[in-house]
């Protein structure tokens, strides 16, 4: 049986390789490896303005979609002014991924949002974001070492019977964190099913009534003990079958 195809949203970044220093579309290798180890084919999905009119042309090609981490979501998309600490926004990526998110939900194609991807899922459903947690919550517990996952682990409490608990395989899950923003007002139809042990911030969102729509604020792709990506790929294989 052919491997399920998983689209991974690509970031727009300035990148250096060889003698080149140019704008590039990229995804951290950890996402690709996690998908491949789970038995799927990874497909990098660059932002495309055409998705805003016809996202189905991409969704037709994949069995599941991962909204990956990256820069902050453009605050204009949820009706807010940018905070001074809001950086790396790429409106072209945001708008393309919001269109793909809504199309995947409409077609019941499995969707996994990771870190920024969970925030994109929330904004796509009409929710809002807290733009800078050190200011609003008074600590850097969710991003203790910018640019590194070292020392970033903390527990997340998951709702019994939720999709988040099923894919994590436990009700208290040790997670690797790297974010300075979080969901605020929850988008239409979404349910919070995970909470940070540090401050009770939402750490998991899901959409009841769909095959697999899950956002996690942590980074399962860099955790070799995590089963989240594997369980997501399994759902994608079931959808393909």
221 is catalytic: yes
- The whole-angstrom distance between residue 213's C-alpha and the CA centroid of its chain comes to 11
Please state, in angstroms and rounded to a whole number, the distance separating the CA atoms of residues 149 and 133: 17
Question: β-strand 191-196 against 202-206: which pairing, if any?
Answer: antiparallel
154 is catalytic: no
Report, in angstroms and rounded to the nearest whole number, the Rg of the chain calculated over CA atoms: 17
203 is catalytic: no
* Tokens 């690709």 sit on residue: 32
Are the CB atoms for 160 and 193 separated by under 8 Å? Answer: no
Marked catalytic residue, from 103, 203, 206, 221? 221
> Dihedrals φ, ψ of 160, to 5°?
-60, 135
Q: How many beta carbons lie within 10 A of that of residue 135, not counting itself?
A: 12
Structure tokens at 128: 């809002």
- Give me the helices (H) in 131-218, please: 133-137, 163-168
Please state, in angstroms and rounded to a whole number, the distance separating the CA atoms of residues 43 and 83: 33
Marked catalytic residue, from 103, 115, 142, 206? 115
Residues labelled as active-site residues: 115, 219, 221
């Amino acid at each position: 049986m052919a491997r399920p195809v998983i689209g991974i949203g690509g970031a727009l970044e300035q990148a250096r390789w060889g003698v080149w220093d140019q704008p590039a579309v990229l995804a951290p290798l950890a996402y690709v490896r996690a998908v491949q180890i789970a038995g799927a084919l990874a497909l990098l999905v660059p932002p495309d303005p055409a998705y805003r009119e016809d996202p189905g042309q991409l969704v037709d090609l994949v069995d599941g979609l991962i909204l990956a981490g990256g820069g902050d979501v453009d605050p204009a998309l949820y009706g807010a002014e940018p905070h001074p600490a809001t950086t790396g926004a790429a409106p072209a990526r945001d708008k393309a991924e919001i269109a793909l998110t809504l199309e995947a939900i409409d077609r019941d194609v499995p969707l996994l949002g990771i870190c920024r991807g969970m925030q994109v899922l929330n904004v796509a459903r009409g929710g809002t974001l807290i733009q800078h947690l050190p200011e609003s919550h008074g600590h850097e517990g969710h991003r203790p070492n910018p640019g590194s996952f070292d020392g970033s682990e903390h527990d997340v409490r998951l709702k019994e019977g939720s999709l988040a608990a099923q894919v994590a395989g436990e009700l208290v899950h040790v997670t690797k964190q790297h974010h300075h923003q979080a969901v605020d007002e929850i988008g239409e139809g979404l349910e919070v099913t995970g909470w940070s042990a540090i401050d009770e911030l939402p750490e998991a969102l899901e959409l009841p009534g769909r095959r697999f729509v899950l956002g996690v604020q942590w980074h399962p792709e860099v955790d070799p003990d995590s089963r989240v990506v594997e369980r997501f790929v399994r759902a994608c294989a079931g959808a393909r079958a």
